[in-house]
């Protein structure tokens, strides 16, 4: 076999789930090695529907299977068959949802005879994927985090409100979010949100009462954190992607300036438009943290710069590459060779020191321009004129004269245009005005060494 990145694909990727993060993996694998991954999914969602770059392996999953255990059983079941069919081809297993990552690691002994994968250990995931524990570990290793108060709903709303008053005082608005997405993401109810904002004590109490009701009977979804909201609109957010290999070497670094996030409650905080940039000082902090706690695999950090102080706060680290992974590939900084060189060849990979500046977006350009100002708005216009705009779902390799391709293009067009009504309903310009209209210029972060 030749090292990853030369020619051909001496491995077969297997990707779990069927969302935009899955397609980001598929497209990045295909554009580097012209390999078509197997996508194991219970639902063929829009991002992967009608794609010619993958093959779907269906999973029968009941509505009661909130732990996605059926995926593990399917992988174990088809493992011997795949090994027999591809006897000299390593099977590389990747996932982009916390639940899948945890399940893979908890069943590593059943899966490792067939598949190769790289994720943090269960202990490290439990340490960092828990926002209360992450805050403690981050402070220990030099990462700045907002003041964090753990809230266990079993204590009752009155006791929790007293704790908020005692620890956080009048630092409203407060952000309230689950300690672990692993338990929380499996639940569903009308009005559920990934993140809640409480502008005052009355709203905080109402949120806690709602959560207490809808998480009852689910002990792994009863813990939350409250933090003072770091001021600033969406343009104060950053995304950082890192890979640490089996020898604890940082072998991939990539990052982007978030322009707009999704504001639909169930997808709140997911970046929808980003410009790729490099942040050397934040890279050092993130790398030191990951190597210090014994990380292995991809990590994705959410960072926000306080508009009042200019200080950068690390909110969380995800034990996966992140749903927007394709922003790296679009910038000429494909993250997957680091994974393949680690898993298959046990060779070090040097992180790229330079990559292209591109605009990654699932939004219409005019919508982005409507919500940005100053240098950031001019940068969007410049990248648009230069043809450096990438929608992760519009892969050139999909193009062919066929009904399937037309259906796919129609889906992408409709999903893109729907954002006009989504933003009008969930994040009108009046809401942006309340967050501060001016877009954040990251020049200072890019200049740090």
In this structure, which topology does domain 147-228 adopt according to CATH? Dna Ligase; domain 1 (3.30.1490)
In this predicted model, what pLDDT tens digit does every residue of 189-202 receive, in sequence order? 998 998 899 999 99
Residue 46 CB contacts under 8 Å (≥ 6 apart), including other chains: 411, 415
Query: What's the mean pLDDT in 133-148?
Result: 91
Give the model's confidence band at 5: pLDDT under 50 very low, under 70 low, under 90 confident, else very high: very low
In this predicted model, what pLDDT tens digit does every residue of 425-449 receive, in sequence order? 999 999 999 889 999 999 999 977 5
Q: Which residues pair with 16 in a beta bridge?
A: 40
Query: What's the mean pLDDT in 300-324?
Result: 94
In this predicted model, what pLDDT tens digit does every residue of 117-135 receive, in sequence order? 999 999 999 899 888 899 9
| Cα 227 from Cα 46, distance rounded (Å) | 35
> Which stretch of 7-21, 271-285, 323-337, 417-431 has the lowest confidence by average pLDDT?
7-21
Query: Which of left, alpha, beta for 288 (phi over 0: left; psi -120 to 50: alpha)?
Result: alpha
In this structure, which topology does domain 234-447 adopt according to CATH? D-amino Acid Aminotransferase; Chain A, domain 1 (3.30.470)
**pLDDT in the model for residue 267:** 83
> What share of the chain in percent tops pLDDT 70?
97
Q: What mean pLDDT is reported for the chain?
A: 93
Determine the 3-state secondary structure of 150 from DSSP.
strand
What's the Cα-to-Cα distance from 234 to each of 73, 289, 306, 366, rounded to whole Å?
40, 25, 11, 17
Instruction: Determine the distance from the C-alpha atom of residue 97 to the mean position of all C-alpha atoms in its chain, rounded to a whole number.
Output: 8
Give the model's confidence band at 6: pLDDT under 50 very low, under 70 low, under 90 confident, else very high: very low
- Whether 12-119 shares its CATH topology with 234-447 is answered no
Query: Which of left, alpha, beta for 130 (phi over 0: left; psi -120 to 50: alpha)?
Result: beta
| Cα 238 from Cα 311, distance rounded (Å) | 12
Residue 146 CB contacts under 8 Å (≥ 6 apart), including other chains: 135, 175, 227, 228, 230, 313, 315
**pLDDT in the model for residue 1:** 42
In this predicted model, what pLDDT tens digit does every residue of 189-245 receive, in sequence order? 998 998 899 999 999 999 999 999 999 989 889 999 999 999 999 999 999 999 999
Spans of all domains in the chain? 12-119, 147-228, 234-447
What's the Cα-to-Cα distance from 432 to each of 197, 275, 315, rounded to whole Å?
15, 19, 21
**pLDDT in the model for residue 66:** 66
Rounded to a whole number of angstroms, the CA Rg of the chain reads 21
Instruction: Report residue 42 as tokens.
Output: 């219970």
Is the pLDDT assigned to residue 108 strictly greater than 50? yes
* The 250-261 sheet, strands edge to edge: 312-318, 297-305, 237-244, 250-261, 271-276, 359-361, 389-390
| Cα 27 from Cα 329, distance rounded (Å) | 9
In this structure, which topology does domain 12-119 adopt according to CATH? Rossmann fold (3.40.50)
């Amino acid at each position: 076999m030749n090292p990853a990145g030369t020619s051909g694909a001496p491995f077969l990727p297997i990707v779990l789930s069927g969302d935009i993060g899955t397609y980001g993996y598929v497209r990045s694998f295909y554009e580097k090695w012209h390999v078509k991954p197997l996508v194991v999914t219970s639902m063929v969602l829009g991002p992967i529907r009608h794609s010619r770059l993958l093959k779907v392996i269906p999973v029968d999953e009941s509505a009661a299977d909130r732990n996605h255990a059926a995926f593990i059983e399917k992988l174990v079941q088809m493992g011997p068959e795949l090994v027999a069919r591809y006897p000299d081809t390593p099977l590389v297993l990747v996932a982009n949802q916390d639940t899948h990552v945890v399940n893979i690691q908890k069943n590593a002994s059943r899966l490792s005879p067939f598949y190769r994968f790289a994720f943090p250990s269960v202990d490290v995931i439990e340490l960092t994927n828990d926002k209360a524990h992450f805050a403690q570990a981050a402070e220990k290793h030099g990462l700045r985090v907002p003041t964090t108060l753990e809230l266990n709903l079993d204590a009752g709303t009155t006791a929790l409100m007293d704790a908020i008053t005692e620890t956080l005082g009048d630092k409203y608005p407060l952000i309230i979010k689950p300690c672990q997405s692993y338990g929380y993401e499996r639940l569903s109810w009308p009005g559920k949100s990934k993140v809640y904002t409480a502008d005052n004590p009355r709203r905080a109490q109402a949120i806690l009462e709602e959560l207490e009701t809808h998480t009852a009977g689910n002990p792994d979804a009863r813990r939350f954190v409250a933090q003072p909201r770091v001021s600033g609109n969406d343009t104060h957010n950053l995304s950082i992607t890192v890979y640490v290999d089996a020898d604890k070497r940082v072998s991939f670094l990539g990052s982007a300036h978030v322009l707009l996030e999704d504001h639909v409650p169930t997808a709140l905080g997911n970046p929808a438009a980003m410009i790729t940039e490099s942040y050397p000082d934040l890279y050092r902090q993130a790398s030191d943290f990951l190597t210090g706690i014994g990380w292995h695999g991809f990590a994705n950090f959410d960072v926000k710069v306080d508009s009042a102080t200019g200080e950068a706060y690390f909110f969380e680290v995800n034990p996966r590459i992140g749903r927007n992974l394709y922003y790296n590939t679009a910038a000429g900084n494909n993250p997957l060779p680091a994974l393949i060189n680690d898993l298959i060849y046990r060779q070090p990979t040097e992180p790229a020191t330079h990559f292209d500046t591109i605009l990654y977006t699932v939004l219409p350009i005019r919508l982005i321009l409507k919500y940005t100002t100053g240098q950031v708005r001019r940068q969007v216009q410049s990248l648009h004129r230069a043809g450096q705009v990438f929608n992760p779902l519009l892969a050139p390799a999909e193009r062919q004269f066929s009904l399937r391709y037309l259906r796919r293009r129609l889906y992408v067009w409709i999903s893109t245009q729907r954002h006009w009504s989504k933003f009008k309903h969930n994040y009108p310009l009046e809401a942006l005005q309340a967050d501060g209209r001016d877009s954040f210029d990251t020049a200072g972060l890019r200049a740090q060494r």
